[in-house]
Chains A and B, each alone.
Chain A
Amino acid sequence: MRLLVVEDEKKAGEYLKKGLEESGFTVDIATNGVDGLHNALEEDYALIVLDIMLPGMDGWEVLKRLRAKRDTPVLFLTAMDELEERVRGLELGADDYLVKPFAFVELLARIRTLLRRGPPRDVEHMHIGDLEIDAIRRRVRRAGQRIDLTPREFSLLQLLARRRGEVLSRSQIASYVWDMNFDSDTNVVEVAIRRLRAKIDDGHEVKLIHTVRGMGYVLDLEHEGE
């Protein structure tokens, strides 16, 4: 899938392109608003990542002119964490926003959500290797062996399984599982993962829950760097 990143800061553009390409997207970069709008109107992109502070034409203007012709999903990046800013962006027709500085996994998750268009389906039965998750009866088996999980542990496992292969940041996990929507300086998530891992992975050859240092956690059969 082709994405357009409109970002004037060279370093930021470079790492966004690299990161997104490594996650399976084709990425074009525009370094100012005028080029960004031109590309967005001429080419067919699945999604546009739009910075607000841009030389030539600011992100608001780009968004306004783009919306007059096309409805490509737009995720805007803002350095200003003011409510009016965010409301303004959404009113102009943006689909989501992120406040700088953001975690890359967060950006990736938002992009995937927008591209999926709608929340992840609730799969009744999930199989990952020899791990079975029955979402209806809330039961988990590994290699045929029943594993007892607390309700929270189950929610956590379900989240990781639904987003299989996707790195989830600590704040994402805290928000989905416990509905705690702020950055906490506690290592609650770390501990919860550790306890879940003890129940799921201990005594098994193949590990399913992986830590991506500094970024978050991922559930998959195997993960690079582990």
Chain B
Amino acid sequence: MRLSLTARLSITFVVITVACFSVVGLLLFKAVSRRVYIHDQTNIMLDARHLRRLAQELQSPADVVAHQDRLIALMLGDQANGLRVIDRGGRVLIDRVPMGYELPTQPVVPADQRIVPASIRSWKDRDGNEIRGVATAATLQNGESVTIAVARSLADRTALLARYRSDVSLSLLTGLLIAVLLSYLLVRRALRPLRCMAESASAITAQRLSKRMPLKDAPAELLALATSLNEMLARLEQGFARVWQFTVDLAHDLRTPIGNLRGANEVALNRQRSLAEYEALLGSNIEECDRVSRTIESVLFLARAESPQFALQRIALDTAQELHRIADYFEGLSSEAGVSISVAASAKVYADRDLFRRAVNNLLSNALRYTPRGETIHLQAVECEQGIEVSVDNPGPGIDPEHLDKLFDRFYRVDRSRSDSASSTGLGLSIVKSIMELHGGSVSVRSTAQLTSFTLHFPQSPST
């Protein structure tokens, strides 16, 4: 069974309340009965001592009978008390037992022995009520000995304690009812912000991702939860927007070459053309197909890079050798653009060779596009505290700060109208970012008015 938080908390409160009440009630009851017990014990003991002392001042049994009122007065007239004095012959000298219970006269505390609480005995009368009492011997002035028995019926005490017990139980029950009601109401009230949050959360759907949890009335404990939920929602909303934008951009990117294909073919078929024209058309068709293939390949690469099964083949790469190889690959292209490429590297990097080359390749081809004639692009690899940093620095017009953080987004082009979109898929930098994430690293970009610098951060290799 799934218990609501309200029920759980209420039950907990009630259990605690009942436990406290019960313990307190029990302790109070114990304390009271203990007090009563000690009080009675002391009274019986003192009465017995008193009576013995008085009796020992009297001359003879006859004197005892004569002074019986004095002796009886010592018992304070309580109906529960009883007194019997008998002489050695078993003759009853005083018999004052208002409630009529038995007063055994054995065992007897000898006349010269002190009466202590331990001397007091306990027995039951005919009705099952407890009686406590003590019998003691007293030596009269004429040397004769009498037996004095003192007792007290505890019937009234039992009744008192029983009443007390039922009073305590009743207040316990009342307290319990109040506790149940109060804890339910209070807990419900305390948890109201939680219910409000649940209601707000259920109003958020894929179509209404811009909704947020209200933070205004949230108590401190829920504020952290609501805040992180809101942050999660913001990330989700961003993710949704990105996927949406990605879909739109992908469709647009595919529409352009397909439009070109269709248009060029339609125009060509419109009338008879020369063989050379047909050949040119077919060549151009293949170029458009290549463009679509490249976009698809890039999109698939990005998708695969996000799957946890992507297998990296990491090896220790000599960055100097790799960067020289890439510089060499670009040599023709860069010298046509009047740009030189310098390499300064000494570090080893633990990375997948093809992916490393692909990342640097993308950065370098990007740099080459923006470097003015006569300038130099610097490829560098240095070891730093966090790992290896590979950077591609190019002089040239800087990138506006507003573009910097979006630069690695898919299909993001600084200048949407750029005509070189035919040669670049707009996915190059996203692929760099993906490659770095696969390596547990990152890519960053800095740009001033004179210099743009992309840096690949590879984490420290596991062997060092």
Contacts and interface: CB of A to CB of B under 8 A. Distances in A.
B367 to A, nearest CB: 11
Contacts of A186: 330, 333, 361, 365, 368, 423
Nearest to B426: A185
Nearest to A193: B332
Chain B interface, >50% SS class:
helix
Contact of B293 (A101, A152, A195, A213): A101
B354 A185 contact: no
B78 interface: no
A150 B328 CA distance: 11
Interface stretch (A67-75, A139-147, A175-183): A175-183
A113 interface: no
A187 interface: yes
A152 B358 CA distance: 19
Contact of A188 (B286, B290, B300, B333): B333
B297 interface: yes
B333 A187 contact: yes
Nearest to B330: A188
A195 B335 CA distance: 11
Nearest to A101: B293
A123 interface: no
Contacts of A182: 354, 357-358, 361
A185 B428 contact: yes
A214 interface: yes
A97 B296 CA distance: 19
A193 B357 CA distance: 21
Interface string A160-182: 00000000000000100011111
B424 A185 contact: yes
Contacts of B368: 186
Contacts of B328: 152, 178
Given A180-B361, A182-B354, A183-B294, A188 B329 contact: yes
A103 B425 CA distance: 19
B287 interface: yes
Contacts of A12: none
B442 interface: no
Interface stretch (B56-64, B67-75, B148-156, B275-283): B275-283
Interface string B282-310: 11111101100110110010001000000
A213 B286 contact: yes
Nearest to A104: B286
A83 interface: yes
Nearest to A80: B300
Nearest to B431: A182
B366 to A, nearest CB: 10
A183 B297 contact: yes
Contacts of A187: 333, 423
Interface string A215-226: 100000000010
A139 B411 CA distance: 46
Contact of A185 (B331, B336, B365): B365
A214 B361 contact: no
Contacts of B361: 180, 182, 184, 186
B336 A214 contact: no
A185 B290 CA distance: 10
A192 interface: yes
Nearest to A182: B358
A213 B329 contact: no
Given A185-B294, A191-B332, A213-B280, A101 B358 contact: no
What 6 A-B pairs have minimum CB-CB distances, sorted nearest first? A214-B286, A213-B283, A191-B332, A214-B283, A186-B365, A178-B329
28 contacts: A81-B304, A82-B304, A103-B290, A152-B331, A179-B325, A180-B329, A180-B361, A181-B354, A182-B357, A182-B358, A183-B297, A185-B424, A186-B365, A186-B368, A187-B333, A188-B333, A192-B332, A194-B332, A213-B280, A213-B282, A213-B283, A213-B284, A213-B286, A214-B282, A214-B284, A214-B286, A214-B290, A225-B279
Interface of A: 81-83, 101, 103, 150, 152, 174, 178-188, 191-192, 194-195, 213-215, 225
Given A186-B368, A213-B282, 19 more contacts: A152-B328, A152-B331, A178-B328, A178-B329, A180-B357, A181-B354, A185-B365, A185-B423, A185-B424, A186-B361, A187-B333, A187-B423, A188-B329, A191-B336, A192-B332, A213-B279, A213-B284, A214-B287, A214-B290
